[in-house]
Chains A and B, each alone.
Chain A
Amino acid sequence: MKDTTIFGSLDPDLTKRVLSRRNAVAETGKMAGALAMASMPVAFGIMAKSAFAQGTALPAEILSVLNFALTLEYLEDEFYRTGIEARVIPSADLPIFESISAHETAHVGLLTGAISSGGGTPLAKPTFDFTAGGLLPDPFSSPNYPIFQALSQGFEDTGVRAYKGQAGALMSNDAILTTALQIHSVEARHASAVRRLRGQKGWITGNSSGVDVDAFQAIYNGEENTTQGGVNTAQFGTGDSASEAFDEPLLRSEVETIAGFFIVS
């Protein structure tokens, strides 16, 4: 959000392109049901193309943001798929993580397609290490299901903050901004469900991580903010409720530091 220089580079043809893209998005919505049964990667590729491809390259800044988001989605996608395959999740909780996993896989497909059709090159999936270089026990080993849950919470809450922080950089493209917002709120639904599964509130109180690992604190620092647009919101409730009522963004660099703990190369 600090970087709003994109406003200075608005292209006069943009409105036209955005409008034609919007029509493409409407058509894609109708197609989605029909394609739901098709093989997933193929279906996402098709939809992403029809939604985003107009033979016009996306601005470099938008492509960069989409690749940043893609890296986070790669991380989440691999995390959940590995956890499900490793059978670390008790059967009672499995449907929750299967649902989340399916969404993250879809997000990877959507972002990959958008980047490609926007003239960019999707970053390759990094090699991940979910022990953060040995800092954490193996989250995929069945006695460590609590670690798996804690990481899930951390990834989802990070995702919410990451997308929120990039919304301003996507303002020049209505279709992509809306799509990013639609991912953002799904990440928040995930975060709420996983937090509650862990016995936490679905919302974040102060800057409490609810995880007894120091490294998680970076995910929650700043969430205690109760001043919004110059307005002291604690006056309308309590400090706790005012911090819960607003989720805070993270800078891209802050998110990259957090994700970096889990990226080998």
Chain B
Amino acid sequence: MLNKSLDDEEGLSFLDKLARTTGRRTFLQWSGMTLAVAALGCSDDNDDGGTGPGTGEVNLGSGDTGILNYAYALEQLEAAFYTQVVAGAYFTGAPTAEQTILSDIKNHEVIHREFLKAALGTSAIADLTVDFTSVNFADRNSVLTTARTFEDLGVSAYNGAGKLLADANNLLAAGKIVSVEARHAAAIRDLITPGSFAANDVVDANGLDSPARTPAEVLQAADTFITTTINASGLPTA
């Protein structure tokens, strides 16, 4: 996928392009994860709530707590993004209908974030430091395509993580959130290109929202927007 010729550039998804442009930092981050795994059992674990905002690394933890922290990290990212969107120049000058959609979504993402934080209690990871320098908040296309990336990524993340949850109540909570993310994705997509709410770049020939991504795939795609290193080594994989 990464060896496509420049002629195919437009055929690459935004996520593919991200993976290309962020290859170096991703490599460093995942190297860190490997080290963390290797050090398990002999390290003096200081990841549990010991990191403050913007510092070093957060460890998502294991089991359902780890998956909920993973969701919490994504909701932090989305909430931070839309908070900047509604304070930006594009939003200020946008038609009322678009303002309503974006401010609604911002409110939903903040609620998702705060709900997960409350549900996780003392197990919640610290606040992430985000990096939106790649986004032009004065530009409609920049804002909306980034929003589309986050919403589609969120849907694929929850769809991929469902099977990793052990507690049916947690699965239900995730299910209550993911369909709202899909509603967001559809609305944002239709703002960009009318009729693309479930286009074949996100829905496959079987009518399935596709792909359902693993946490590793999602975190790699989100990496360019997150400064804090996220240690996902404890997450369940099956």
Contact = CB atoms under 8 A, between A and B. Distances in A.
Interface residues of B, number: 53
B205 A174 contact: no
Contacts of B182: 185-186, 188-189, 192
B172 A99 contact: no
A23 interface: no
Contact of A202 (B155, B184, B199): B184
B108 interface: yes
A189 B205 contact: no
Interface string B80-112: 000000000000000000001100100110111
B180 A203 contact: yes
B173 A229 contact: yes
A174 B160 CA distance: 10
A228 B168 contact: no
Given A95-B195, A168-B172, A233-B115, A36 B108 contact: no
Contacts, number: 200
Contacts of B204: 29, 32
B168 A4 contact: yes
B176 interface: yes
B150 interface: no
Nearest to A19: B238
B234 interface: no
B61 to A, nearest CB: 18
Given A32-B205, A231-B118, A189 B197 contact: yes
Interface of B: 100-101, 104, 107-108, 110-112, 114-115, 118-119, 155, 158-160, 162-163, 168-169, 171-173, 175-187, 190, 195, 197-199, 202-212, 238
